[in-house]
Amino acid sequence: AITDRVMAAMEAADGSGGDSRCTCPPWPADGLKPAIPCDGKTAHVAYILMAEKTDTNGDSHNNGRYAMYITVSQPAADHGSNVIREGENLNPVKTLRMRYDAWRKKQPASFK
């Protein structure tokens, strides 16, 4: 599927360094392992969107009705329901991969 190729391209960009201004936060001062791991963070947000001809566009990419829209944002009270959670990764591309794979498993075998 084209969405598989888009994910591969995003991972390639992430692996090539992405945005060097985006880095993992320092470990907690108490030396304990952070609640959410951070592996090579190179972005603050990530999303993938797939639209069909019959989908409805909004005035922005994030408020239309699309066949698939998966988004990831950093943990913060005002970032809505798409924030990174425990069991995910502060690198949004890695978390997007996890969420995309979960979505993909729900698709019929015929999905291309």
Express each pLDDT in 42-74 by its tens digit: 899 999 998 888 888 877 777 778 888 999 999
Please state the pTM of the whole predicted model: 0.86
Contact 80, 73 (CB under 8 A): yes
Query: Inter-axis angle of helices 2-15 and 92-105, to 10 degrees?
Result: 160
Look up tokens 């639209």; give the residue: 51
Domain positions in the chain: 2-105
Q: What is the dihedral of CA 84, 15, 21, 72, to 10 degrees?
A: -20
What is the per-residue pLDDT across 7-48, written as a single tens digit (0 to 9) for each?
999 999 999 888 888 988 888 888 888 889 999 898 999 999
Residues 6+ apart with CB under 8 A from 46: 10, 71, 72, 92, 93, 95, 96
DSSP 3-state of 54: coil
